[in-house]
Structure 1
Amino acid sequence: MGMWMLAAVVATVALMLFQAAGALWVAAIALWIVVGYAGDVIDALAAAVMLVVLGAPAVLLASKSLRRSLVSPHLLALFKRILPSMSETERDALEAGTTWWDADLFSGKPDWNKLLSLPAPSLSDEEQSFLGNEVNQLCALVDDWESTQLWQGLSPQAWQFARDRGFLGMIIPKQYGGKQFSAYMHSQVVMKLSTRCSALAVQVMVPNSLGPAELLLHYGTDAQKDYYLPRLAAGTEVPCFALTSPYAGSDAAAIPDTGVVCMGQFEGRETLGLRVSWTKRYITLGPVATLLGLAFRAVDPDKLLPPGVEPGISCALIPTTHAGVVIGRRHWPLNAVFQNGPTSGSDVFIPMQWVIGGQPQIGKGWRMLMECLAAGRAISLPSASVGTAKLAVRGTSAYAAIRRQFKTAIGKFEGVQEALARMGGNLYMMDATRKLSALAVDLGEKPAVISAIAKYHVTERARAVVNDGMDVLGGKGICMGPSNFLARAYQQIPIAVTVEGANILTRCLIIFGQGAIRAHPYVLKEMHASTETDGRKALLDFDDAFFGHVGFVCANAARALCYGLTGALLKPEVRAAAEDMLRYYRAVDRLSTAFALMTDFAMFVLGGSLKRRERISARLGDILSQMYLISATLKRFEDDGRPQADAPYVHWSVQDALARAQNALIGVLDNFPNRALALALRLLVFPFGLPYREPSDALGGEVAEAMQTAGPGRERLLADCFVADDFGDPIACGELAFALLPQVEAIEHRFKPAVHSGALAAIPQSLVEMREWVADAAASGLITAEERHVLSDFARYADISIQVDDFSADLNAAADVGRRQAMTERRKEMAEAEAE
């Protein structure tokens, strides 16, 4: 009996795992019963009962004609009753964009070979030249402190350079005079600008993201493209896009701004158009824009539109010089000085040809916005946040290496190393996510779910990186001034967290809420079938989707059991993957299966209420997100050629993400309303306990050490940062001191016996004492001329990098800008004098 029952369990798991056809299930059940009867395990009565109880339902479900006649109509009716109602705007949001690697992660069995075979993101020769020349030139024209304190924005010279050199037209095709850069290049530019000046990055980022150029490219008429795109590319038009209303906020689909279809006077003749009224806020470039992109809700009370045209959310382009347009006032978001402000208008008549795409696109604005946002959100804020994080890591890691307390570099203290490890590990994963998301856009995807993941998690990790940097810098981090490279980032990081979909909203409603329907292999098909008007087609489509869904759930349950019992060791090896990383691919396979299974049970048990159970939805989204971040990290390691110097970053970030995903999954199970089912799922997924742990202290120490070691590994982590050629710049001086540190340590090591014996005083830390010590040592013949220059230069650069600023008693920082310039010139003179 035992072997017979064991055979039934093994056969059932195998049939579920391989999603066997119904006929094979029927044959297997019949064979099992016959073997049991022939082997005297069961008698004839028991065999007959089993054939009725097990065989009859199997035959019913295996026969499509019987199933579609007797079962599927009732299931379809039930599905229609329990399916939550959905507005057109919700449907547009769900169906906007495309699915990509997120669909693989939803499948329970991601195809790693497909992901790893994708090309590494790269730049053309033209793009590389622009990044190394024009971008560097623009960065050299700005300074974050002077932008905020002196100009309250970009200097006129920098802003004009950006417009003249095509920075506002990077996504516009060359036929219209634009750069036609790739999404990856767009990302590289924004990231590099963000390592220098936040206002600069934002004012370049926005025209190349969701706005008039993007909307025109996809939906504009030929006349609109021919007129506006060359002007946008040349910078003669400065665009903005106005979506957010005071009383709609994140619920952008509920915008109250209206455009009434009517006849009106335009250029001296009666014209069909709209009389638009709006009140918008948070509009980047709004105060200086010459071209206003506007989202509003079109209404047609007099039925002037052709039959069949449904009014609704629409988008138009309005010159800001047009009568009735109000711009010019500014918001002041957390001391950030990028141009941002409100705009309004009351009963402003615009002709129909100003609607983007003309009259045929009336009412289609919401889908336009959702599809464009799906691509733009994958690039803009993730890129800016990575730039901010690189600025923080470069400055903080150098500071930790050169700043000494208790005769020891603070970067060697374990508490500081713990913070540095988080900074380095987070940055490596953030940059990997940025690159993979930009690659998706370059491959033609509009990755709605992935863009939401990238926006949320990269901005949140940037916040963590900046916070850790502030902790390491200590007093230097809290004193404002040109010597503080991190204070403005610390002030302004909530801006990235808030815009383009506030992070709480993105995590709780978008990542899983949209992904569960779009990326799931069957749910959207079931929903479409339930709304199909052709009854016969609806039944056939639903039957295929529903029973495919059942097989999918069974396969994931069987796979989860196998992975839980074996630790996913049965998964086939991933081709072209580093041997020491294979365990992470298996771990994501295991989580993917558990996630897919948990998703289906959550939707089954909670039904339409799942979208109101935001904390469960958020945790499910966290699991999906961490799997995507791990995927990006593993691919980056492969794309970079598996450099072993980078392995500590990979191990730390992946282990951290696995622990986060596991905690999110346990959080779902601990808060699942059906406690018995939650316990069963936990035993199925984690039969031997929780397998994933946070990174060890030793691994964190390796990451911190790598960040404080000059060489290719650190430069890969910080690639494409801008570092000024400026003796007054704290980042530049920190890097100069950091570069000399190995030579300084070698000199100190040579002197260690003499210091211990008392024959020589220890090398001091302060600039004045160091000069005296160096002069005495040189006079005594203890150091060479080259060593004297090394120690003197190190002391000078280190002194500049650790200083903080002070101002006049009235804190008139703007008046002290000139003092900083004078100090820079004085430091250059000092350096030249010492060199002589």
Structure 2
Amino acid sequence: MTALVTTLVAVLAAWALAFAGAPLLVWTAAIGVLLLALKGLGLIGTTAFAIAGTVFVTLALLLNLRPLRRAVLTAPIFGVFKKVLPEMSSTEREALEAGDTWWEAEMFRGRPDWNKLIDFKYTALTPEEQSFLDNECEELCKLCDDWKIEFEQKDLPPEAWAYIREKKFLAMLIKKEYGGLGFSANAQSAVVTKLATKSITMAVTVMVPNSLGPGELLMHYGTDQQKKQWLPGLVDGSELPCFGLTGPEVGSDATAMPDLGVVGYGEHEGKKVLGITLNFSKRYITLAPVATVVGLAFKLRDPDGLLGDKSKSEYGITCALVPAKHPGVQIGRRHYPGAAFMNGTIHGKDVFIPVDWIIGGPAMAGKGWRMLVECLSAGRGISLPALGTAAGQTAYRMTGAYGRFRRQFKVSIGKFEGVQEATGRIGGYAYTLEAMRVMTASAVDHCAPSVVTAIAKYHMTELMRKIVTDGMDVMAGKAIQQGPRNFMATAYKATPVAITVEGANILTRNLMIFGQGAIRCHEYVFPEMEAARENDLPAFDKLLFGHIGFSVNRAVRAFTLGLTGARLARSPVDGEMAPYFRDMERFSAALAFCSDLTMGVLGGKLKFLERLSARLGDVLSQLYIASCVAKYYLEGPKTEAELAHARWALDHCLYEIANAFDGFIRNFPVAWARGVMRLVVFPLGNRFKPVSDRVNARVADLILEPNDVRERLSWLVFVNGGEHDPVGRMEHAWKVSQDCEEAYLKFFKLANKGELAGDTVADRLRDAVTRGLMTREEADQADTYDKVRYEVISTDDFSKEYIAGNYDAERAEVIEMAAVRARVA
């Protein structure tokens, strides 16, 4: 019995030490105490104690005396590690080193410090920023008619262009000291979101100069002379910028760029100067057709060492600013993507520019890729996520209204369970999008989080695709019939643009999120690689044994938390959110363990197993998304309606995490590792299921009702366009319904029972009043409601001349009235 108890105590003690992540010295002391206890209890004899003691002391000295450990154990491992370490190009290194790690690193390391999340402060809008949203953004939206922009004009109206320039919409990120607005990332995100709820073309026009482009590059890297030359024009709108990176042969892989600049002497403004002869062909360049200055990325070559380094001829990707009217530069023909924003081609043959036109001057030659990667956070973390959020907010507000007004089989379609599947998703996704928007934009205000912004770009644009599709399904014919009444079609057509740009989503998911996250966010991997590159054995030794302890701890933690249903995990709060925080910690530990085992077993091969790395990336992404949702709920009013949306979003995240782990483990190529990972991650099986029908139905019901969440999730939707605006028409109907719906439902029930005479609504209402079944006031309210109801479900039709391009053939009022005239009941 004594031996059994001792064994049990020893196992539990070892388990506790591993779970807590005890250091090597504590383990050494614990094993020494165990040996002494075994001897003292008479469980081992003198000879066995002497042999075990000798082995123990030898191993203890070998592991704890670092010079001895380095010489005997670490040095051979170090040699093997350097040989198997995959080659890393300079481009890959620059991408890895660019930007900062942030909250995603906590989730990746398996033991998140929840206080960092709880204490993190969202960036509050300043009074100036709020005023800009409430006034300038409102006025700009009123200047734009999305139908005319997309179908007739294929461009913003001149007055909108003028207003954009006048009010410095293109200079939100330029600091006030240079005359710009100096807005926070959160404010820029809110502006783009609001504009996109009115017109995607308008939003894209504004967001591009405020994300990856000459303005941001000049702010970070430009010389004083370049800032003095270009920033005033970029601020007042007299200069319109574009940035040429993508070309026929280069998309996501910038290293394939064939565009070339060769250093040499040439003539500029009548003088012989050191410069660069450029040959380039760019496409998909937003604002190119109207640009006055072109930011240009190209590979730089200096065959004669004229830049000062005779040993170096290939400098790599370099960025320069070139006036659009510079000799040899050709602004090409327009592309026409899913929306009417300006997008086109730029070409140049034997274009000579001075070396001083390199952004940052000659000293920044060859550093263009690093510059671009470091500045990508604006596009990935602000602009494109804002488009996704705009789709979510619009779909939430408009689908809710439509689902309430539109009736089939005498019931509001929003009450049909089949429809609720879609509207519940819309509600959950919209909540997720706004939570991610404010969290990620606020992060960009604090640092330059490269992995987080990649997560946001990929998942928020994918959610945009899903939410727009669900909205189209619910509104059916209302959504597919294009015209001045349609507020969904442009988003549906333009969604693939957001999916494609700033790193195509397929690449972002399969290569970037885990590929960059695993190295940058891991506590040991990147430092180990750097130690190997610098041939620093002492540093590698310390990291290696720290890494071993880390892996053991995370494996034990993941297994234990899985075995106990995460009850031993920590939560920073009590109440409704506590189980979600504990599950997140459990999966965080599982991710850390699986990542370590995967990198250890597959090594450099993992780089080419994109499906596997994508699934681990999905785990990391969903952990971040769940963190955003939990934080957003805790920062909000915590009402019952809010809780329903948060539960939907968090249940969905946890299901996606478990599903990604399951797919990863099932497809892992090494059998024994599959077994180990399944045991550690799902010791009792996978208990995580899709969002329940009950939770989904609760959100689907709420989307039909006026409540605090509806306003919080759609606060940026432009609603003041009036009754002839597609969203404004729905807003007007919604407001009418708050006063008149009760009377209309009374009439509706009477009519459905067959108690009212007449073939039209007017006839039946007259009969109801005559017979005393309704008062005159009730009848008037029902009539008002029915008129706006019909407006909500109406679609547009056109003459064949108008459709053929003769836009003078019909006035807007004629198009609008056509649907009303078609009414027969």
Same fold (TM over 0.5): yes
Comparing 552-561 and 397-406, the one that deviates more:
552-561
Letter of the structure 2 residue corresponding to residue 330 of structure 1: R
Query: Counterpart in 1 of 2:781?
Result: 790
Query: Counterpart in 2 of 1:833?
Result: none
Alignment pair present for 1:466 and 2:462: no
Query: Counterpart in 1 of 2:742?
Result: 746
How is 1:235-634 mapped onto 2 (pairs within 5 angstroms)?
A: 235-307=237-309, 311-334=315-338, 336-443=339-446, 445-532=447-534, 535=535, 538-574=536-572, 577=573, 579-634=575-630
Deviations 1:161-185 (A, max 9, x none): 1111110011111121111111001
Deviations 1:780-817 (A, max 9, x none): 55444543443222222221221122222356265457
Q: 2:135 aligns with which of 133, 136, 139?
A: 133
1:379 is paired with a residue of what secondary structure? helix
1:481 is paired with a residue of what secondary structure? coil
The question of whether the paired residues in 1 share the 8 Å contact of 2:796 and 2:816 is answered with no
1:363 is paired with a residue of what secondary structure? coil
Letter of the structure 2 residue corresponding to residue 403 of structure 1: R
Q: 1:806 aligns with which of 797, 808, 814?
A: 797
- Rounded to whole Å, the distance in 2 between the matches of 1:293 and 1:382 is 24
- Rounded to whole Å, the distance in 2 between the matches of 1:25 and 1:316 is 58
- Rounded to whole Å, the distance in 2 between the matches of 1:463 and 1:332 is 20
- Rounded to whole Å, the distance in 2 between the matches of 1:121 and 1:344 is 41
- Rounded to whole Å, the distance in 2 between the matches of 1:560 and 1:698 is 30
Comparing 709-718 and 744-753, the one that deviates more:
744-753
Query: Counterpart in 2 of 1:676?
Result: 672
CA 1:757–1:209: 2 relative to 1, 3 Å: closer
Comparing 176-185 and 787-796, the one that deviates more:
787-796
Query: Counterpart in 2 of 1:731?
Result: 727
How far apart are residue 353 of structure 1 and its match?
A: 1.1
TM-score w.r.t. length of structure 1: 0.94
- Rounded to whole Å, the distance in 1 between the matches of 2:729 and 2:96 is 50
- Rounded to whole Å, the distance in 2 between the matches of 1:134 and 1:454 is 27
- Rounded to whole Å, the distance in 2 between the matches of 1:623 and 1:817 is 54
Letter of the structure 1 residue corresponding to residue 345 of structure 2: P
Letter of the structure 1 residue corresponding to residue 672 of structure 2: A
Query: Counterpart in 2 of 1:114?
Result: 116
Alignment pair present for 1:772 and 2:775: no
Give the total of aligned pairs: 817
Unaligned runs of 5+ in 2: none
The question of whether the paired residues in 2 share the 8 Å contact of 1:379 and 1:438 is answered with yes
1:350 is paired with a residue of what secondary structure? strand
Comparing 106-115 and 790-799, the one that deviates more:
790-799
Letter of the structure 1 residue corresponding to residue 322 of structure 2: I
- Rounded to whole Å, the distance in 1 between the matches of 2:476 and 2:57 is 72
Query: Counterpart in 2 of 1:42?
Result: 44
- Rounded to whole Å, the distance in 1 between the matches of 2:684 and 2:118 is 31
- Rounded to whole Å, the distance in 2 between the matches of 1:110 and 1:814 is 59
Comparing 312-321 and 375-384, the one that deviates more:
375-384
How is 1:88-237 mapped onto 2 (pairs within 5 angstroms)?
A: 88-237=90-239
How far apart are residue 72 of structure 1 and its match?
A: 1.6
How far apart are residue 133 of structure 1 and its match?
A: 0.7
How far apart are residue 39 of structure 1 and its match?
A: 2.4
CA 1:60–1:270: 2 relative to 1, 3 Å: same
Deviations 1:414-438 (A, max 9, x none): 0000100011101110111111110
- Rounded to whole Å, the distance in 1 between the matches of 2:347 and 2:321 is 14
The question of whether the paired residues in 2 share the 8 Å contact of 1:313 and 1:366 is answered with yes
CA 1:472–1:54: 2 relative to 1, 3 Å: farther
- Rounded to whole Å, the distance in 2 between the matches of 1:350 and 1:789 is 73
Query: Counterpart in 2 of 1:657?
Result: 653
- Rounded to whole Å, the distance in 1 between the matches of 2:613 and 2:776 is 66
How far apart are residue 157 of structure 1 and its match?
A: 1.4
Deviations 1:503-551 (A, max 9, x none): 000000000000001111111100110111xx5xx01111121111111
Q: 2:72 aligns with which of 57, 70, 73?
A: 70
Deviations 1:112-151 (A, max 9, x none): 1211112233211111111011101111111221101111
The question of whether the paired residues in 1 share the 8 Å contact of 2:283 and 2:345 is answered with yes
Letter of the structure 2 residue corresponding to residue 324 of structure 1: G
Letter of the structure 2 residue corresponding to residue 128 of structure 1: Q
- Rounded to whole Å, the distance in 1 between the matches of 2:350 and 2:574 is 63
CA 1:754–1:266: 2 relative to 1, 3 Å: closer
1:327 is paired with a residue of what secondary structure? strand
1:208 is paired with a residue of what secondary structure? coil
CA 1:825–1:403: 2 relative to 1, 3 Å: closer
- Rounded to whole Å, the distance in 1 between the matches of 2:358 and 2:169 is 26
Comparing 183-192 and 808-817, the one that deviates more:
808-817
Letter of the structure 1 residue corresponding to residue 114 of structure 2: W
How far apart are residue 236 of structure 1 and its match?
A: 0.4
2:298 is paired with a residue of what secondary structure? strand
- Rounded to whole Å, the distance in 1 between the matches of 2:276 and 2:510 is 37
The question of whether the paired residues in 1 share the 8 Å contact of 2:796 and 2:818 is answered with no
1:491 is paired with a residue of what secondary structure? helix
The question of whether the paired residues in 2 share the 8 Å contact of 1:730 and 1:801 is answered with no
Letter of the structure 2 residue corresponding to residue 552 of structure 1: F
The question of whether the paired residues in 1 share the 8 Å contact of 2:747 and 2:765 is answered with no
Deviations 1:643-667 (A, max 9, x none): 3321111000110110001110111
Deviations 1:211-269 (A, max 9, x none): 00000000000111112111101000000000012112110132111110001111111
The question of whether the paired residues in 1 share the 8 Å contact of 2:487 and 2:726 is answered with yes
Unaligned runs of 5+ in 1: 831-836
How far apart are residue 480 of structure 1 and its match?
A: 2.0
RMSD of the TM alignment (CA)?
A: 2.2
How far apart are residue 347 of structure 1 and its match?
A: 1.0
The question of whether the paired residues in 2 share the 8 Å contact of 1:275 and 1:349 is answered with yes
1:569 is paired with a residue of what secondary structure? coil
The question of whether the paired residues in 1 share the 8 Å contact of 2:769 and 2:779 is answered with yes
